[in-house]
Amino acid sequence: MTVAVPGSIAALPRVVGAALRVPLVTGERVEYANLDHAASAPCLEQVRDAVDELLPWYASVHRGAGFASRVSTRVYEQARDAVRRFLGARPGDTVVFTRNTTDSLNLLARSLPRHTAVLLFDTEHHAALLPWRGPHVRRLRTPASPSAAVAELDRALAAAPEGPRLVVVTGASNVTGEVWPVAELAAVARRHGARVALDAAQLAPHRPVDLKALDVDYAVLSGHKVYAPFGAGVLVGRADWLQAAEPYLVGGGATARVTDRGDRLGVAWSAVPERHEAGSPNVVGVHALAEACDLLGRNWAQTVAHERELLARLRAGLATVPGLRELSLFGPEHDRVGVVSFVVAGQDAGYLAAALSAEHGVGVRDGAFCAHVAVHRLTDGDRALRASLGLGTTVEHVDRLVAALRSLVLDGARWDYEVVEGRWVPVDDRRALPPFLR
């Protein structure tokens, strides 16, 4: 099923829950305005249908002779090809399935050769900021512009110790949505003999990602960001470091052979990618991820056009809210995906988020978005609000957010709120949970 989008843009894949209606504290019900796609995107209907089609055939993979096991194994292995196409991987690149972006980057961090120098900017999301340990990790300060980022990386690599080097860079900021100069940073890395790992979690749902064109060595992403919320992620890239490393997790699948040697076990590890996929794999999640990759790959033109139109409308509307300041690393004119973070003078971000939900049926994110260093620097230590767009976003959702913010700032909330366990909630909140939670 498809859904019409603004202007003359062709139809887009439809998300599950597009017609979801949520309760308000006033007793009304309204269509949910999901403006929190950057945290987790809803499932696409075609992805759900693909999962439903697989479920009767679901079985353990790789080690089963039964026909259902053969079907599930084929599904699992074909998913690697779908992800490889989606990310423009090179013929020799390996595709390792993980739980999510965080899992993928921790796997890569565990697979680095000893004494690898790791360089990254401190504006990274925690998944890319925290896995790297040791004296050879260099965190670079927030750059004022893309050219400043390139120059700073050039200087840092020139001073880095000899030996293997890895540059970690995001494709698009999960705070501001701004697109990073990945190709330019990769060119600098190449001049200094460094490899590049691309955190594509926030870029991949919005724009095509091509490892060959960007000249990066690794890319990671999460299924739940690309409309496949079934618990799968992926690490794609050069196989040599992963092949040389001890398995990230040990157990069945990671082992080619285990023998009893009396006082110890003899273990021969599998080759990549199985080397880092111990245990029974998430066949359903991987199939969902592959289906989502194929769908996005066939719909880039209309996806990008849809988002750009709504993003322009959102930013223009937010500019009319008194006291609202949009957060930016590189300036208001820099290219960005459908993510906008902002603060409102004199207003607590958590309070506004609670009122937007309870009184207007609008879902946004508040806080520091697992990017504390970046948000605290851009807000002088405060929390922010983030509105993020996706395939399920409509003009009405954007306009409702803007109108609600203006009303809250100019006239105040219509309901009373209190802080419970660190979060603002409506006083005497009688909104009923869905039946499956009762």
Report the Cα 335 to chain-centroid distance in Å: 18
Beta strand extents in 14-124 (DSSP E only): 21-23, 29-31, 33-34, 94-98, 117-121
Helix (H) or strand (E) holding 216: none
Q: What is the DSSP letter of 386?
A: E
Q: Are 61 and 69 in contact (CB under 8 A)?
A: yes
Q: What is the dihedral of CA 166, 167, 170, 176, to 10 degrees?
A: 140
Beta bridge partners of 3: 12
- Indicate the length of the chain as a whole number: 438
Q: What is the DSSP letter of 44?
A: B
Selecting among 30, 370, 395, 403, the annotated active-site residue is 370
Sequence-ordered list of residues with C-beta below 8 angstroms from that of 187, at least 6 positions apart, any chain: 215
Using DSSP's 3-state secondary structure scheme, residue 373 falls into helix
Type of residue numbered 229? P
Residue 179: what are its φ and ψ, rounded to 5°? -80, 130
- CA dist 344 and 390 (Å) reads 24
Beta bridge partners of 30: 22
List the alpha helices (DSSP H) in 193-319: 211-214, 240-244, 283-297, 300-318
Q: Please say if 293 is a catalytic residue.
A: no
143: preceding bond cis by omega (within 30 degrees)? no
Beta bridge partners of 117: 165
- 262: how many CB neighbours lie within 10 A of its CB? 6
Q: Are 212 and 88 in contact (CB under 8 A)?
A: yes
Positions marked catalytic: 370
